[in-house]
Amino acid sequence: MLSEKSSASNKKYMPELGTEVRSGISIYKLLSVLGEGGFGTVLEVRRGYRRYAMKIEKYNKSMLHIEAAVMSAAERHSCKHICRLVDYGTQKPRYMFIVMPILGKDLHTLRHEQLSKRFSLRTSIIVGMQTLAAIEELHRCGFISRDIKPGNFAVGLREEMQHRTIFLFDFGLAKKHSDRDGNEYASRGVVGWRGTTRYGSLKAHERLDLGRRDDIESWFYVLVEITSGTLPWRHVTGTIFELLLGITVHWFTYTCRLYCFLGPILLVLLDDFR
């Protein structure tokens, strides 16, 4: 956890800790900093006797409207594995915020806490099933993530009886993949980089427009990492061509090894989406 002193001091748009933030329906007291990144800050807040996480971003650079749209759609579809939207609001022209339940540790942190830096086969299967269910729910809501990675999945809190449930969160790079009638949007061709390099699909590294199958490809790479402890192309550097070549070669090698380890079901799943 970051120090409270580092929270709002470097971001002039941020409200001060100890003060209150009002939405259209509620008042939240800002308690402490849970995390901080390049785009915003996550605070622990209190409404009445309950505590929540509040994500705040600068108003004119915020992508929180997308996150709110995703989580609102997830609520309409009764999604089990997508983080719930509690509230949202704006303080123009300073900042926008969304309020969510506080989650437990993310999969990246949990994996690194293991001595072997990987999960057991049983745990990996459970994690694989729940994370895939989360992605399926997101796609059913009409969105794709474009940033599937261990750090965007977290378990719920034990005190909420959700410590055995994995939730997908952070939808800042999400976009609609189909219209209201379920018709897929046409590919936009070359659009630039989206996502996290280590888990990006081959299309992502070619800077092409992404779809649902790219989320599944990234999920497959997450599965490789949590079962083996690393990704074979993690240290590949150089030009885009060299990076793609390295990923492609290692991909085929690891597909064969993972087949022996986890069985044919993963290959069938991946083949259906590619």
Q: What Å distances lie between residue 18 and 4, 44, 182, CA to CA?
A: 11, 11, 45
The residue type of 214 is D
203 annotated as ligand-binding: no
Instruction: Find out whether the peptide bond into 93 is cis, omega within 30 degrees of 0.
Output: yes
DSSP state of 103: P
Among residues 102, 94, 21, the alpha carbon closest in space to that of 58 is found at 94
Residue of 87, 106, 147, 215 with catalytic role: 147
Return d(Cα 150, Cα 139) in angstroms, integer: 18
Which helix (H) or strand (E) segment is 137 a member of?
helix 121-140
Helix 264-273 vs helix 212-228: crossing angle, to nearest 10? 160
Cα angle 194-196-274, degrees, rounded to a multiple of 5: 70
Tokens 């994996």 belong to residue: 111
- Could you please report the per-residue DSSP string of 183-200? PBPPP-SB----S-GGG-
147 tagged catalytic: yes
Start-to-end CA span in the chain (Å) = 39
Which residue positions form the known binding site for ATP?
55
Residues marked as catalytic: 147
What residues form the annotated binding site? 55
